[in-house]
Amino acid sequence: GDSVTQMEGPVTLSEEAFLTINCTYTATGYPSLFWYVQYPGEGLQLLLKATKADDKGSNKGFEATYRKETTSFHLEKGSVQVSDSAVYFCASRSPYSGGGADGLTFGKGTHLIIQP
Amino acid sequence: DGGITQSPKYLFRKEGQNVTLSCEQNLNHDAMYWYRQDPGQGLRLIYYSQIVNDFQKGDIAEGYSVSREKKESFPLTVTSAQKNPTAFYLCASSVQGIATDEQFFGPGTRLTVL
């Protein structure tokens, strides 16, 4: 079945540092790819998405590019802030339905801590 | 404001009791989903519904049941058959049930079995 693997955390950085959170996927066909962010005690918010190869999703200074050749969707930000501290989830969704496959497949999440 | 509401925010249950978690959306979305989140884990799909009066099992449906009698409501019942029900439960919805659709999440219900 589909799976998503992302780097384990916690990841601790200083404010204004460069951020990369790695994400790779396995899926049938070409899935849509998403990054979600979760703040403590809350639900998930969509950060960005890409639905086909070479698409770049971007939002709030975060970027991720859909790389079919490496089956990756790494999240990057050039200069992080304390307010970026949260848990980040990479997720995929296959275009093929059936057999319980119609939800998102999530990675385990990466806890990001930004220190002032 | 449009969005998804879940209630209650915290729920305590004694072993052997069934409990129902509420999920309501006013986004006019066709598809709705229930996920379970455990510490240090990603979310896992329990049930989903692409249209009223229809729903499908996800990856971990055992011990759970749902109904979809109205477009805006998708309640989840955690039954006594669920062996380890303590978790954070998240409801989501999307315009349709297609792969490119963004899923919008509610604030979650934290269930604790005493």
Longest dimension (CA), chain A: 47
What's the pLDDT score for residue A42? 87
CB B31 within 8 A of CB B92: no
Residue A1 pLDDT level (bands cut at 50, 70, 90)? confident
Check whether A18 has a pLDDT greater than 90. yes
Transcribe A13-73 into DSSP letters: EETT--EEE-EEEE-SS--EEEEEEE-TTS-EEEEEEE-STT-EEEETTEEEE-BTTTTB-
Average pLDDT over residues B80-108: 90
Residue A97 pLDDT level (bands cut at 50, 70, 90)? low
CB B72 within 8 A of CB B6: no
**What residue in A sits closest to B91 (Cα-Cα)?**
A43
Residue A99 pLDDT level (bands cut at 50, 70, 90)? very low
Residue A71 pLDDT level (bands cut at 50, 70, 90)? very high
Q: Which of A2, A30, A42, A44 is the best substitution to test chain B (most B C-beta atoms within 10 A)?
A: A44
- Cα–Cα dist B94/B50, whole Å: 9
Give the gyration radius of chain A's Cα atoms. 14
Residue B1 pLDDT level (bands cut at 50, 70, 90)? low
Measured CA angle at A3 (ends A93, A57), to 5 deg? 45
Residues 36-65 of B with CB under 8 A from A: 40-45, 48, 50, 56-59, 61
Among candidate residues A8, A4, A31, the one with its CA nearest the CA of residue A21: A8
Residues in chain A: 116
Q: Which of A4, A94, A108 sits opposite B99 (nearest CB)?
A: A94
Residue A100 pLDDT level (bands cut at 50, 70, 90)? very low
What's the pLDDT score for residue A101? 47
Q: Which of B4, B99, B108 sits opposite A95 (nearest CB)?
A: B99
Question: What are the pLDDT digits (tens) for B19-53?
Answer: 999 999 999 999 999 999 998 888 999 999 999 99
What's the pLDDT score for residue B3? 93
CB B44 within 8 A of CB B58: yes
Helix, strand, coil shares of chain B, percent, nearest 5, are 0, 50, 50
Average pLDDT over residues B56-76: 96
Average pLDDT for chain A: 92
Cis omega (within 30 of 0) for bond into A10 = yes
Transcribe B35-88 into DSSP letters: EEE-TT--EEEEEEEEETTEEEE-TT-TTEEE--SBTTB--EEE-TT-S---EE
What is the number of alpha carbons within 13 Å of residue A108 lying toward its C-beta? 9
Q: Residue A18 corresponds to which tokens in the numbers above?
A: 């460069």
Average pLDDT over residues B84-102: 89
